[in-house]
Amino acid sequence: MEDVTLHNTPQNTGWIEVVSGCMFSGKTEELIRRLRRAQIAKQKVMIFKPRIDNRYSMNHIVSHSEQSLISTVIDNPQEIIQLSKDAQVIGIDEGQFFSSDLVAVCEKLADMGKRVIVAGLDQDYRGKPFEPMPQLLAVAEYITKTLAICMVCGNPADRTQRITNQHELVVVGAHNVYEARCRKCFVPPNDVD
C-alpha cells in the first residue's frame, strides 16, 4: 500500500492568509499569534504596518489587548517586496489602510514562495467593503473572519460603528471613536451611498 501524506498547509509554495473582521474582534491579536509561532519555529519573519496607524506605537503592531511585535513602518505596499527578500513569513497589519497595490504585492510574495498574513477591516464605518481587503479575501488561500461582541446587545458583532460625527473614510482611532456592533444594532451613517 502506498504511503500518502496529507498536509494542512501547502508544501514548497507560498500562500496568502487573511484575518478580517470589525474593530475589537482580535485581528491583530491573531496576526501576532501566527507570527510568534513562526518566530518560535525559527522562520525569518518580517512585519509591516502603515505609517497612518500610530495609535499605540510608531514601530510595533499592537493589539487592543496590548500584545505587540516590532514592525517596519511603510507608506507604500511596494516597499514590502524589497524589505522582505530574505523573509519566509510576512505579516501585514491594518491592510485596509494600504492602496490597492497591496493585492498584487501579496500575490507576488506568495508566488515567490512566501507565507503572507494580512490583518484588516473587511468593512468600513458605513458597513461597505473596505478596499483592498475584499480583493485580498478573493485571492487568499486561507481566510479567518473574526467577530467581536456587540457593545449594545452582546450578540456576535461583525460591524464597526463610528460614534463620532466625522465623515472621512479613514479616521484612525479606538474605543473613543468606534464600537463593535451586530447587524441588528449597527446604524449606518446618513452619508452612505
Output the CA angle 90-173-131, nearest 5 degrees. 50
Amino acid letter, 174: A
Alpha carbon separation from 60 to 5, 42, 63, 69, 190 (Å, rounded)? 39, 20, 10, 5, 35
Output the CA angle 68-73-77, nearest 5 degrees. 120
CB 138 within 8 A of CB 131: no
Active-site hit among 17, 94, 107, 131? 94
Phi, psi of 95 (to 5 degrees): -55, -30
Is position 94 annotated as part of the catalytic site? yes
Strand order in the sheet with 89-92: 72-74, 45-50, 89-92, 115-121, 15-21, 142-146
Q: Which residue has the cell 494580512?
A: 118
Active site residues: 94
